[in-house]
């Protein structure tokens, strides 16, 4: 099975809304396949253009997070960047 077919099959399960780095790690862990950024971009398109699955729950979580940060967007960015670097 080709990398492209594996990605297409996995799209049905996990959706489009993940970054290319996430996809690379996921495919390596689950299928033992090393996939390039170019392969992912060719199949999935740019991350900005990918549809976000389950938008309502994502927006609800984002609103709650911003409220928890007392509407301080800069603090929210710092927190998110801390988690992005940690993973």
Taking the domains of the chain in order of start, what are their residue ranges? 3-49, 55-86
How far, in Å, CA of 40 to CA of 46, rounded?
9
Report whether pLDDT(50) > 80: no
pLDDT score, position 83: 81
What per-residue confidence (pLDDT) applies to 47?
Answer: 60
Encode pLDDT of 11-27 as tens digits.
888 877 788 888 899 99
Residue 70 has what pLDDT? Answer: 93
Contact 48, 56 (CB under 8 A): no
Please report the pLDDT score of residue 65 as a whole number.
93
CA distances to 39, 53, 67 from 18, rounded to whole Å, are 15, 10, 24
On the question of pLDDT at 62 being above 70, the answer is yes
What the block records as the tokens of 11 is 């799209």
What pTM was estimated for this model as a whole? 0.55
């Amino acid at each position: 099975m080709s990398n492209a077919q594996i990605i297409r099959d996995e799209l049905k399960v996990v959706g489009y809304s993940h970054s290319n780095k996430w996809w690379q790690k996921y495919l390596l862990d689950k299928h033992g396949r090393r996939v390039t950024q170019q392969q992912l971009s060719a199949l999935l398109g740019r991350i900005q253009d990918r549809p976000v699955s389950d938008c309502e729950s994502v927006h609800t979580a984002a609103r709650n997070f911003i409220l928890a940060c007392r509407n301080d967007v800069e603090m929210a960015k710092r927190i998110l960047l801390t988690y992005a670097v940690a993973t």
